[in-house]
Amino acid sequence: MKFNMEEPKMINVLSMKSVLKNLFILFLIPLAAFAYTPQPGSPLANHSHPRLHLTQASLPEIRNILSSEYAADYQAHVTWAANQSTNNEDNIISEAGHNPLRALMVHQAFIAAVGTVPGINYPISLDEFANRAISRLISQLNSGEELSYVAALTYDWTYNYKIANRQPDGESPRYAQSI
């Protein structure tokens, strides 16, 4: 039996072209990601948090609306979130039904991110709201809980507290690894 040596070479050349084409594409994708320049003045360009749904620029208006139009509702919300158990073993989606966006950690992270609203009495400090949200987030991520968007919101909205309060004592790497 005689083998045709020319045919396998053609297949190898075609295979090599395909491999080179795929490698070229794989190298272009990361280059495109590195080439992204965020819009000037955006939270991403300014390296500021929060970025998701809230920004440093929008917080004064949010505080004003909460203090003038929703003061009673927001006070009830703050009191409810402060009075929830600090036990991470409790149902993390306390009273939320099946909607993970209503998870207690997101409520607490939101209160921390918004900051002090005039006329609202805080049963616990904003730092404590952030710490509770961060602790719940870490606990749930370490247990393998699938949180996706809830994790992103909690991370973003407590980011400034994480940097200010957790980095020196060494907890920040665990927080970053968990996420």
Distance CA 97, CA 91 (A): 11
Domain of 96 in residue numbering reads as 49-178
Which residue do the tokens 């009495």 mark? 121
Alpha helix ranges (H) inside the chain: 6-35, 43-46, 59-68, 71-82, 104-114, 126-142, 149-165, 172-178
* pLDDT for 109: 93
pLDDT tens for 92-113 read 444 445 444 457 888 999 999 9
Does 41 fall in a domain?
no
Report yes or no on 23 lying in a domain: yes
Enumerate residue ranges in the chain where pLDDT < 50: 90-96, 98-101, 166-175, 177-179
Domain co-membership, 68 together with 16: no
Same domain, 17 and 60: no
> What is the 8-class DSSP label of residue 39?
P
Burial class of residue 160, CB neighbours in 10 A (0-12, 13-18, 19+): middle
Q: Determine, yes or no, domain membership for 7.
A: yes
The predicted pLDDT at position 100 comes to 47
Q: Are 114 and 103 in contact (CB under 8 A)?
A: no
Are 171 and 127 found together in one domain?
A: yes
C-alpha span between 137 and 46 (Å, rounded): 26
**What integer pLDDT is reported at residue 84 of this predicted model?**
84
Please check whether residues 16 and 57 belong to one and the same domain: no
Asked whether the beta carbons of 111 and 119 are under 8 A apart, the reply is no
The total number of structural domains that make up the chain? 2
Is-contact 124 81, C-beta < 8 A?
no
